[in-house]
Amino acid sequence: MIMDDEIAFRELLVRRFARSEFEVTGCKSGEEALELARSGAFDVGVLDIRMPGISGIDLLREIKTLQPDFEAIMLTGLATIDSAIEAMKIGAYDYLAKPCKLFELEIIVRKAYEKKILAEQNTRLRDELKLKDDKRELVGSSMVMQALLEEIANVASQAGPALIYGEAGVGKELVALSIHKASVRKDNSFITVNCGVLSEGKLETELFGHEADAFVGAGMRKRGIIENTADGSVLLDEVEQLSPSMQVKILHFLDTGEFRRVGGFSEMRSGARLFFATTEDLLHQTQSGKFREDFYYKISSSLVNTPPLRDHKEDIPEIAKYIIHRSDLAVSRNKRLSKKAMEALLKYDWPSNTRELVNVLERAVSLAPKNVIQMKNLPISFEKKLKPGKQRHLQSLAEIEKEHILHVLEAVNSNISKASRILGISRPKLYRKLEKYKSGSSA
């Protein structure tokens, strides 16, 4: 942005920076510049301090509210120490007196632009989840796992969206992360968003960002995850929870690479790749009219089926060793499973899949006083599976139900929606049972 009321000087700067491959907009007044800043983003501005109407100082203050990372070089024909100090306090990058040397101004503009880009990169890094440096990996040598790894390699070589299907707890997020790590985007960010825990409005602002004061309480302009992720990857988990209107907005981004911030009018671009994860049969939901057909076929152009743990139990010893050695507890590194404990793990059906295995083993590691994890360190249900004819103690049906409900909740990290689906009961009914357990009743 070039803001100066001297026509000849303003046009000279516009031509100069346009030849230097900048996208330049000239403004003859502070009012015009402020209106443009409200509708579009600028990286750097060259602002004249002394202007009729809105001064350069006041304009900088307003733009900094709208675009905190905006960098400004202030110009004036009547330089004073006070105006320089005021401009720098507001956040100006530098201050030059007229007449200035154009090559000197261009050097300062380029440095200001570099600072702006660095600030954006730092913002992306702050917004990244810990998954960027996550060392988790898929473990297993079975034919089932080898087939999954081949699928991952195939999808990683492509550029479009991918749909990852599988039961709760199978590791769909880890599959998406593995695709990301195997792709050309591996050095960029990977972020997961759970569509089931955010309202439609909150989800839209998280994904696409919003303009300043776009809604009550919005405050300053905010970049969304898709904009900040740039050339990285974004996983939208529980995609079946997306409303039809959100499906349309995401489909527009998938088709064009463009989106609008909430409250914005201009199209923004991002090179982010989107992954989608679900436990539901989306094709059936599409056929029944519950899910948009065009959106489903767009996101399922690459489909990865993540197998349940019961389909590759032969991988459990390898997975268990990996989990134990990666435990947050330092004492776990030398621990191992006893023969009977491993036999119990192999006989169990794992309704909540690998997530349940992780929870069971982390609990066992903390309970085992010695280096060998014994049967007694596993939940009661495992001993019953290994020795169905032997009971530790007689239990009522209500006690068995309570034990199973609490076990499922632990396996799904207290996710009520997933627990209710696994248990086959409604969320309100599950809440009522948990309230009874808290009051000391098992009925």
Q: Do residues 189 and 238 share a domain?
A: yes
Of 305, 322, 345, the one marking the end of a domain is 305
Q: What is the mean pLDDT of the chain?
A: 85
Q: Each residue of 196-248: pLDDT tens digit?
A: 888 888 999 999 998 887 887 777 778 899 998 888 999 999 999 999 999 99
Q: Do residues 277 and 219 share a domain?
A: yes
3-state secondary structure of 238: coil
Q: Each residue of 93-113: pLDDT tens digit?
A: 988 888 888 888 999 998 898
Of 305, 339, 357, the one marking the end of a domain is 305
Q: Which CATH number characterizes residue 426's domain? A: 1.10.10.60
Range of the domain at 349: 310-389
Q: In what order do the strands lie in the sheet with 94-97?
A: 26-27, 2-3, 44-48, 71-76, 94-97
Residue among 197, 136, 176, 165 at smallest CA distance from 273: 176
Residues 229 and 270 sit within 8 Å (Cβ to Cβ): yes
To 10 degrees, the CA torsion angle through 376, 377, 381, 384?
Answer: -30
How high is the pLDDT of residue 161? 97
Instruction: Note the pTM of the prediction, 2 decimals.
Output: 0.62
Q: Each residue of 280-307: pLDDT tens digit?
A: 999 999 999 889 999 999 999 999 999 9
Of 389, 404, 423, the one marking the end of a domain is 389
Average of pLDDT values for 28-43?
Answer: 87
3-state secondary structure of 88: helix
For residue 17, pLDDT over 80 is answered with yes
- What confidence tier does 431 reach under pLDDT thresholds 50, 70, 90? confident
Q: Which CATH number characterizes residue 370's domain? A: 1.10.8.60
* Calpha distance 168→406 (Å, rounded): 16
What total of structural domains would you count in the chain?
4
| Burial of residue 403, with CB atoms counted within 10 A of its CB: 0-12 exposed, 13-18 middle, 19 or more buried | middle
Q: Do residues 284 and 354 share a domain?
A: no
